[in-house]
Amino acid sequence: QVQLVESGGGLVQAGGSLRLSCEASGSISSFNVLGWYRQVSGKQRDLVANIRYTDDTDYADSVKVRFTISRDDVKNTVYLQMNDLKPEDTGVYYCAGDAEWYSGTYHSDYWGQGTQVTVSS
């Protein structure tokens, strides 16, 4: 079973940058889609960015241009480069493989444990 482990979160001032990493214990090539999702307290997990095996990407409107998702199939790692961070970006960031949308939220059998990102104003 592939396991995903996130890292790179922390406390940063508005306007700063962070790079999140999601390391997989196995090949990330086995997933059709890999993505980053954000969850704030008491709310559902929302899509931040996805990257598919075709290299097509999707971004939430709120992070487009500021964030960049990428993957390294040799290192089995997915990255999220976050620039010009805003307080609204605060939350726990999870990576997931092959997440699906149904019943009003995203579901996956391959969630990581999450990494906290806090942006101060």
> What pLDDT is attached to residue 7?
97
Burial of 80: CB neighbours in 10 Å, binned 0-12, 13-18, 19+: buried
> What pLDDT is attached to residue 33?
96
User: How far is it, in rounded angstroms, from Cα 81 to Cα 43?
Assistant: 23
User: How far is it, in rounded angstroms, from Cα 115 to Cα 5?
Assistant: 9
> What pLDDT is attached to residue 1?
80
Q: What is the mean pLDDT of residues 16-44?
A: 95
Residue 96 pLDDT greater than 90, yes or no: yes
From 84, 82, 100, 88, select the one nearest 35 (Cα to Cα). 100
- Residue 110 vs residues 4, 83, 106: alpha-carbon distances, Å: 7, 26, 12
The percent of residues above 90 in pLDDT, for the chain, comes to: 93
Q: In the structure encoding, which two tokens stand for residue 81, read together?
A: 């480069």
Tens digits of residue pLDDT in 51-93: 999 999 999 999 999 999 999 999 999 999 999 999 999 999 9
From 56, 60, 58, 18, select the one nearest 38 (Cα to Cα). 60
